[in-house]
Structure 1
């Protein structure tokens, strides 16, 4: 049975998800909050530009604002706003979710289970991670990474914390996979979420240095600091009951860093542009748990302190 899928958040990520779903013929609506980009998509469709390939355009149905959605009209709500916008955005969209529907957060960081549970109920909430890479450019256009364009990005979601809507997620992974966004639903997604947090330690280091991933990785000191924060994250995960294979996870992370090259992390890009960041739900949340659990995390403390001194929040 076809599901009506709402993609909440019309930034680069949400726009890319909606475009892939629309191109595969699925019943999708991109839910924004007004503005030139949403207007452009409604008028002329969305132009998707792979970084190393030919662009393509697809018509994407748009709800300029969540209030424009019909009540109980969505079977699935894929949440891809910035983490700090999630509470207000999901609360506004909640009336559009059917009684037997499910909201799936694929955002960065910790705490999204509580946000979704408060807005739609724990039994209608799932959380996860994505490696899709997309950036909104001028209105009506997004760029996507080569891996995303090739269908190699990965999405993982399931129950974690207060999010307990597992049985309602049936078919969501299939819908995403059919659209070229490979997805897996897990009984419990803690390992995947914490693995993403461990991988994301490059972000605050690159933001402190105002440097690309390639530049940080080329520096023995930078590489060493990233490794310290990585090890601290793995230790905090273990204290929270999620045991990661440290060396396997580090081998994967090192491969990602090695292959990323001269690319700014999203956190670094936000800092350079003077935008609000997701630091609080990423490294900030990890450090907060380290303090609560009594896990030493000096590298997190120093890097977060430097970012704080620079006014980064």
Structure 2
């Protein structure tokens, strides 16, 4: 049993997790930071729009701010803020977790284990990665990806870095998510999955430089060469970190996903196009920093990050 579950971060992703858990009858609370969306959910159900089929609605218990959650009242805290907001957001919720509870960041990128462990302690922290896709459409309404709507998305969590909570706690969280239609598993080597996703995410900064779709990059010989080389650099840095990531499998997986994505803007490219802050610092920039530490050459990372910096992207 997982007990009471908190979801910190009331954007599209956090709302999707909270909606599925609430619909399954879990004891869940969605924790926001005073947004119009979280306030809308105080008085009306959350509407979830799949790409096909009928929208569905569910009443989601909410806390407008973390301060509204009683101390020690949560057994699980899923953290789904933007990566650059994670440390500050976690600090505001440092009081909510029970003594034997577990906090699980599910953001893309590196360093989430340290930010969460700094607040909750290493023995109450795990690390996760997810393919759930969702976006905030307007206050009170979100859209979810086709795979999430079909129950085909995946969440994996486990011990990594300073995330050293018992894996049994992760298994209980995974069971709760699975019961809510969000396939999940506690895995002993979550680091390989996180680095595999970083290799896949090489498309994000590459597409963000010219601000084009995944298909535009992939349908160009030059684009394919750049993004595949950048992904191979990620694998090289993973190996330097001691992560047993298979280069051929990682690149094959990335090629399959990129080829099948089509005319879609990555979330990072969308942020750049809209003049918003990106998660670059915890993704490609974090890989480049580790490459410098290990003396691993990453010329494509250096070039792409330099071009983004020239454009004022952060």
Q: What TM-score, normalized to structure 2?
A: 0.98
Q: CA deviation at 1:291?
A: 1.1
**Residues 20-78 of structure 1, C-alpha deviation per residue, up to 9 Å, x if partnerless?**
11111111000000121011112111100011222111100000000000111100000
RMSD after superposition: 0.9
Aligned length: 313
Q: Which residue of 2 aligns with 1:95?
A: 95
Q: Which residue of 2 aligns with 1:78?
A: 78
Equivalent pair of 2:132/2:154 in contact (CA under 8 Å): yes
Structure 2: gaps (5+ residues): none
**Residues 93-144 of structure 1, C-alpha deviation per residue, up to 9 Å, x if partnerless?**
1211000000011111101111011000000000110000101011111111
Q: CA deviation at 1:215?
A: 1.1
Equivalent pair of 1:72/1:99 in contact (CA under 8 Å): yes
Q: Which residue of 2 aligns with 1:23?
A: 23
CA 231–114 in structure 1, closer or farther in 2 if over 3 Å, else same = same
In structure 2, distance between residues paired with 1:70 and 1:184: 29
Equivalent pair of 2:87/2:115 in contact (CA under 8 Å): yes
In structure 2, distance between residues paired with 1:98 and 1:12: 26
In structure 2, distance between residues paired with 1:40 and 1:261: 34
Matched residue of 1:209: which SS? Answer: coil
Q: CA deviation at 1:306?
A: 0.0
Q: Which residue of 1 aligns with 2:147?
A: 147
Q: Which residue of 2 aligns with 1:247?
A: 248
2:201 is aligned with 1:183: no
Equivalence map 1:44-55=2 (5 Å)? 44-55=44-55
2:270 is aligned with 1:269: yes
Equivalent pair of 2:171/2:185 in contact (CA under 8 Å): no
In structure 2, distance between residues paired with 1:211 and 1:304: 16
Matched residue of 2:147: which SS? Answer: helix
CA 257–40 in structure 1, closer or farther in 2 if over 3 Å, else same = same
2:218 is aligned with 1:195: no
Equivalent pair of 1:173/1:185 in contact (CA under 8 Å): yes
Equivalent pair of 2:2/2:76 in contact (CA under 8 Å): no
Matched residue of 2:132: which SS? Answer: coil
Q: Which residue of 1 aligns with 2:210?
A: 209
Matched residue of 2:251: which SS? Answer: helix
In structure 1, distance between residues paired with 2:169 and 2:117: 14
Q: Which runs of 4+ in 1 moved over 3 A?
A: none
Equivalent pair of 1:2/1:27 in contact (CA under 8 Å): no
In structure 1, distance between residues paired with 2:45 and 2:108: 27
Equivalent pair of 1:126/1:163 in contact (CA under 8 Å): yes
Structure 1: gaps (5+ residues): none
